[in-house]
Amino acid sequence: MTASPPPGTVARLAAWLALHLNETGRSVAEVARELGVGEETVRAWLAGRRAGDDGEFAHLDSPVRLGRWLRARIADSGCTVREIAESTEDVSRVTIYYWLKGEHLPRPPAGDEPDRFDLLLSNPRLGLDLRQRVQLDEVRRRLTGTSLTAPPPSDDWPARTLPADNRAFTGRNEELRRLDRLLREHHRGRAVVISALTGIGGVGKTALAVHWARSRAVRARFPDGCLYLNLNGFADVPPTDPEQALTRLLEQLGVDPKGVSGTPDALAAQYREALKGRRLLIVLDNAHAEPQVRPLLPDEPECLVVVTSRNRLGGLRATHPGIADLALDTLTAAEAASLVRSLLGRPVAKGAGDGEIAAFAAACGRLPLAIHIAAANYLTHHVDSSSIGEYTRLLADDRLGRLAAGPTDPSTSVAAVMDASYRRLTAPARRLYRLLGLHPGPDVSAALAGSLAGLDATEVRSALLELTRANLLAEDARGRFSLHDLLRDHAAGITRRTDSDVERRKAMRRLLDHYVHTAYPAALLLQQSMHELAVPLAEPSPGAAPETFTDRDAALAWFDAEHLGMTATAAGRPPGEFDALVWQAAWALYGFSRVRGLLRDQAALKYAALEAAERMGEPAAQAHVHRMLSWSDTGLGRFEESRAHLVRALELSGRAEDPVGQASTYSSLAGLAGLQGRYAEARDHSRRFLELFEAAGSRIGVARGLLTLGFYEAQVGEYTEALGHCEQSLEVCQELEPGFRDTLEADIWSSLGLVHGRLGDHGRARSFYLRTLERNRELGEHLKVGETLAALGDLHHSAGDRDAARTAWREALDILTEHEHTTAAEVRANLAALDAGPA
């Protein structure tokens, strides 16, 4: 297709392009690349004109004239400026008045999301069609100096040694837009001279740099062409030193090789002299470190340099402030799927569903190199014998082993590419990288990584910094570090080949020790009842450095960040390995689970903990785990299973001569009976609970026992006794330290709310419930917030306030449903009855 079609075809082309954009969701830039023309050409066609024709808005050559035209358009619509503003999302009347006066016209957005000016033009009341909006967008670009229109580049543009573009290149729209923006900034003389593309090996840095370097806009901006040099930073051969690099660049610039010699300083002077007056793009590919790059950076302001590297070249900022960094992540799900379909070809890919294509891309970690290799392997060896889904499952079993085109070409092996990055690390960073492959969680903190490798804070921070600079680790805004899936497989493979079984076992012991010895004290901050059921912990192994917390919020934040990794680590231990730590990890996580209402979480760990406790032959430990399992089953409505666990826990606590464990079990039996409506039985269990704690001399236990007894006395109508026991519980609670008082006090207030509500004092009951609600929200007790809202709804309903009851029940239902709690059904039934008609 030519860049300037005959006039008779422009209208049909505009209609087709508009339909294509709407149906596919592609951007103008993507369509331009598909058609092999400039973005400004596609915009012109969309506007119903040939490239170079400004259309009906050619006269809008200043912001003031554009403002006058907008004012007239609003008047023609029959609306006021206020009405237009009120019907346009995120656009105020004051902003529109600025534009009408020709002031503060915004630059176009960098991404695909429309900005306020786009939203105004899209207001249906203005009656602008797509063609007109595209034309007005180009007017805005012209007036703000961001027009993509550029003079056509020469056909014999000197690319020199720049590699050919990858015909399968797809996606990277956001990155290409950022590079285009850099080009515009450079054109106005405000840009830095360097853009650094960094990312893990195989992520497509070179492909992006080459694709962009060959774009129409780049060729137009740099008529003297492009210099390209592979610096071999992570190749099998030694990295290209600056002297070699300068020599090769001078040869590309046409300097006689016989005259290219001398000291590095002399070569650098020749290089700078040869660049004078030239407008060149310089691509320095596969750099290893800053000293390799720095001598190759020109002083010539008309030249722009793009550097690609697996390392983050932060040191260049010290000598070249303002460097533009562009860190490449793996492809998005949509981009990866598009690349898979492109590589497999229409005949092969058309029979695969979106799910199969997405799974294929996911098995490759959405890494471009991996997708290219997997697609080539499938087409070469499997297309006639396996479906795409079958090949994907085969690939998932041994990703790194199968992501290689052949033994004779290391550049087409994902593992070989990663090996090259690994070899460039120092010994401490290599060891940490290997051991991180053992961690099954999504990410780690610096403290956790230190315990895993047995490093102190300074040593681990240095190793993490090196791995992050090498793009082998990603650090997020929380300061946590994660490995790409394929890098995790790579690290795990190396540690199995390099580190002994003993060393790996010691690392996992340190990791579990860190988790358990951090989590257990933290859990005591969250759940006061766990103090009565304390378990003895062995000393942490040498090299483990558990964290400590002094306040509940910090402990809760730690659990939020670590519970997934801790669960996976403990549940994944082979039978018989660290049995004590496995069941203790489950016990430490139990307090967090209760606070967050995580009824289904850690199920695999709890059963692994039960098996570990049984192997150890410790009845007290087994009783702890049975109580944990009963809590989950009770909340999920599996009452028979819950009761079986509690009966077993009662028996085991008796065998262990553990009266506190027996008391805790009676408390759980009371709760189970209460949920089933057997309140007299629940009251009797509560009395036994209280007796055992009184005998043990536990003030916390006595406070809890009095509370539970009072609650169930209220349920059977013994309100005087209930009120007395709840008030006694509150008195005992006041004797406790504040840290032990917080959740217990909230539970007592809740029971007092129930008793006063049953006695008809709705005002006082409401006051107690609101205090309970506020405290539980402060403590992050999600499930208890839902339960309190349900009780508050009951109170409002009994007082005849149907609207307040509906509001409380609806909020309660959202929380209880999220946690799959059994009382959600009761609240749902209450709402249905409320909505059905009068009480």
The whole-number pLDDT of residue 12 equals: 56
474 strand-pairing partners: 482
H helices then E strands: how many in the chain? 41, 7
The whole-number pLDDT of residue 616 equals: 93
> Judging by beta carbons within 10 Å of its beta carbon (0-12, 13-18, 19+), is residue 603 exposed, middle or buried?
middle
Taking residues 384-396, report their average pLDDT.
Answer: 85
Helix (H) or strand (E) holding 281: strand 281-287
Residue bearing tokens 């199968």: 402
Confidence of residue 151 (pLDDT cuts 50, 70, 90): very low
Taking residues 709-722, report their average pLDDT.
Answer: 91
Three-class secondary structure of residue 307 per DSSP: strand
Taking residues 642-656, report their average pLDDT.
Answer: 94
Cβ 368 vs Cβ 211: under 8 Å: no
Confidence of residue 193 (pLDDT cuts 50, 70, 90): low
The whole-number pLDDT of residue 434 equals: 94
What's 350-362 look like in SS3?
Answer: CCCCHHHHHHHHH
The whole-number pLDDT of residue 35 equals: 64
For 609-618, which contacts have Cβ atoms below 8 Å and span 24 or more sequence positions? 609/570, 609/582, 609/583, 609/585, 610/583, 611/575, 612/575, 612/579, 612/580, 612/582, 612/583, 613/579, 613/583, 615/575, 615/576, 615/579, 616/579, 616/580, 616/583, 618/656
Structure tokens, 529 = 């009842």
Rounded Cα–Cα distance for residues 399 and 418 (Å): 13
Q: What are the tens digits of pLDDT across the range 566-578?
A: 999 999 999 999 9
Q: What are the tens digits of pLDDT across the range 418-463?
A: 888 888 899 999 999 999 999 998 899 999 999 999 999 999 999 9
Which are the contacts of 531, defined by CB distance < 8 A and separation ≥ 6?
Answer: 524, 700, 740
Confidence of residue 611 (pLDDT cuts 50, 70, 90): very high
Cβ 280 vs Cβ 213: under 8 Å: no
Structure tokens, 618 = 């410790």
Structure tokens, 778 = 């402060």
307 strand-pairing partners: 196, 284
Structure tokens, 149 = 């229109």
Three-class secondary structure of residue 309 per DSSP: strand
Confidence of residue 18 (pLDDT cuts 50, 70, 90): low
Rounded Cα–Cα distance for residues 624 and 522 (Å): 18
Rounded Cα–Cα distance for residues 311 and 422 (Å): 12
Q: What is the total residue count of the chain?
A: 839
Structure tokens, 126 = 């203005």
The whole-number pLDDT of residue 136 equals: 85
Higher pLDDT, 543 or 19: 543
Cβ 147 vs Cβ 180: under 8 Å: no
Rounded Cα–Cα distance for residues 263 and 258 (Å): 14
The whole-number pLDDT of residue 3 equals: 42
Rounded Cα–Cα distance for residues 653 and 752 (Å): 32
Structure tokens, 464 = 């993490």
Rounded Cα–Cα distance for residues 488 and 509 (Å): 19
Helix (H) or strand (E) holding 32: helix 28-35
Taking residues 367-380, report their average pLDDT.
Answer: 85
Lowest mean pLDDT among 172-181, 453-462, 612-621: 172-181
Structure tokens, 179 = 């590079």
Lowest mean pLDDT among 102-106, 204-208, 359-363, 755-759: 102-106
Three-class secondary structure of residue 326 per DSSP: strand
pLDDT at 5 over 50: no
Taking residues 335-360, report their average pLDDT.
Answer: 86
Tell me which residue of 812, 815, 807 sits closest to 834, measured CA to CA.
807
Taking residues 87-102, report their average pLDDT.
Answer: 86
Neighbours of 647 (CB within 10 A): 14
Confidence of residue 649 (pLDDT cuts 50, 70, 90): very high
Helix (H) or strand (E) holding 810: helix 802-818
The whole-number pLDDT of residue 4 equals: 43
Structure tokens, 744 = 């217990």
Neighbours of 488 (CB within 10 A): 17
The whole-number pLDDT of residue 118 equals: 86
> Tell me, what DSSP letter sits at residue 226?
E
Residue bearing tokens 């063609």: 131
Structure tokens, 58 = 């050619």
Q: What are the tens digits of pLDDT across the range 516-562?
A: 999 999 988 887 666 667 788 899 999 999 999 988 889 999 999 99
Helix (H) or strand (E) holding 343: helix 333-344
pLDDT at 689 over 80: yes
Cβ 522 vs Cβ 559: under 8 Å: yes
Neighbours of 95 (CB within 10 A): 17
The whole-number pLDDT of residue 779 equals: 85
> Tell me, what DSSP letter sits at residue 325?
E
Cβ 730 vs Cβ 772: under 8 Å: no
Dihedral angle of Cα 53, 55, 60, 61, to the nearest 10 degrees = 0
Residue bearing tokens 């850690």: 602
Cβ 746 vs Cβ 720: under 8 Å: no
Rounded Cα–Cα distance for residues 171 and 175 (Å): 9
Q: What are the tens digits of pLDDT across the range 20-40?
A: 665 565 667 677 766 656 666
Confidence of residue 150 (pLDDT cuts 50, 70, 90): very low
Confidence of residue 215 (pLDDT cuts 50, 70, 90): confident
The number of angstroms, rounded, from the C-alpha of 237 to the middle of its chain's C-alpha atoms is 37
Taking residues 501-528, report their average pLDDT.
Answer: 92
Structure tokens, 571 = 């549940």
pLDDT at 53 over 60: no
Structure tokens, 27 = 């951007």
Taking residues 485-498, report their average pLDDT.
Answer: 90
The whole-number pLDDT of residue 36 equals: 57
Three-class secondary structure of residue 404 per DSSP: strand
Taking residues 383-406, report their average pLDDT.
Answer: 81
> Judging by beta carbons within 10 Å of its beta carbon (0-12, 13-18, 19+), is residue 719 exposed, middle or buried?
middle
Neighbours of 595 (CB within 10 A): 23
**Dmax (CA) of the chain:** 107
State the DSSP string of 74-106.
HHHTT--HHHHHHTSTT--HHHHHHHHTT--PP
Confidence of residue 185 (pLDDT cuts 50, 70, 90): confident
Cβ 746 vs Cβ 709: under 8 Å: no
Rounded Cα–Cα distance for residues 606 and 610 (Å): 6
> What backbone phi and psi angles, to 5 degrees, belong to 443?
-160, 170
> Tell me, what DSSP letter sits at residue 254?
T
Neighbours of 758 (CB within 10 A): 17
Mutual orientation of helices 579-596 and 552-571 as an angle, nearest 10°?
130
Rounded Cα–Cα distance for residues 652 and 654 (Å): 5
Structure tokens, 733 = 């609670």
The number of angstroms, rounded, from the C-alpha of 201 to the middle of its chain's C-alpha atoms is 21
> Tell me, what DSSP letter sits at residue 382?
I
The whole-number pLDDT of residue 155 equals: 58
The whole-number pLDDT of residue 1 equals: 36
Rounded Cα–Cα distance for residues 695 and 678 (Å): 26
Question: Computed over its alpha carbons, how large is the radius of gyration of the chain?
Answer: 34
Average pLDDT, the chain: 85
Tell me which residue of 714, 704, 325 sits closest to 531, measured CA to CA.
704
Rounded Cα–Cα distance for residues 711 and 700 (Å): 17
The whole-number pLDDT of residue 52 equals: 46
End-to-end alpha-carbon separation of the chain, Å? 73
Tell me which residue of 581, 649, 646 sits closest to 615, measured CA to CA.
581
Confidence of residue 61 (pLDDT cuts 50, 70, 90): confident
The whole-number pLDDT of residue 13 equals: 62
